[in-house]
């Protein structure tokens, strides 16, 4: 596995380990498990102002990687580094179509209290687009 992909997988596994007790073992890389991620983010918004930036960044990377891995395990795909957003992007469907997702900014938005940045809903819209993709489609979900 390439270095970037391994880093995403490692951070996703860390999320499963660290949130194991909190999630009662429901972080199983399924779409439904994203409800736990949403709950954790909703709870963390109360403490974000008192939390050091380094810890916030670690949480964003850990939970963002978990969401990306949910997508990769469901649909396949490949990780690339998105220079413009300075984060990994999951690209699915190449070469027939390209459906891609960036999640770190969405996670950060949710942590800042943006309830419209609901992770479960965001992923559901992305997943529906992947399932209905047609040759030539090219979409990036941010």
Q: Which residues contact 46 (CB under 8 A, 6 or more apart)?
A: none
Task: Write down the pTM of the prediction.
Answer: 0.95
Q: What is the per-residue pLDDT for 1? A: 61
Can you give the pLDDT of all 142 residues of the chain as single tens digits?
Answer: 689 999 999 999 999 999 887 767 789 999 999 999 999 999 999 999 999 999 999 999 999 999 999 999 999 999 999 999 999 999 999 999 999 999 999 999 999 988 888 999 999 999 999 999 999 999 999 9
Specify the number of domains making up the chain: 1
So what's the pLDDT on residue 93?
Answer: 98
* 52's tokens: 């050091």
Distance of CA 75 to the CA centre of its chain: 14
Range of the domain at 83: 3-141
Task: Let me know if 69 is exposed, middle or buried by CB neighbors in 10 A (0-12, 13-18, 19+).
Answer: buried
109: its two tokens = 């938005």
């Amino acid at each position: 596995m390439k270095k970037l992909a391994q880093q995403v997988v490692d951070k996703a596994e860390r999320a499963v380990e660290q949130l194991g007790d909190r999630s009662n073992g429901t972080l199983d890389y399924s779409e439904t498990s994203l409800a736990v991620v949403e709950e954790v983010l909703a709870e963390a918004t109360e403490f974000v102002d008192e939390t050091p930036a380094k810890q916030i960044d670690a949480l964003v990377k850990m939970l963002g990687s978990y969401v990306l891995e949910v997508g990769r395990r469901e649909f396949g795909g490949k990780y690339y580094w998105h220079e413009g957003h300075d984060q990994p992007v999951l690209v699915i469907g190449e070469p027939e179509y390209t459906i891609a997702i960036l999640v770190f900014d969405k996670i950060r938005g949710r942590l800042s209290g943006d309830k419209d940045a609901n992770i479960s809903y965001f992923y559901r819209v992305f997943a529906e687009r992947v399932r209905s993709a047609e040759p030539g489609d090219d979409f990036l979900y941010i």
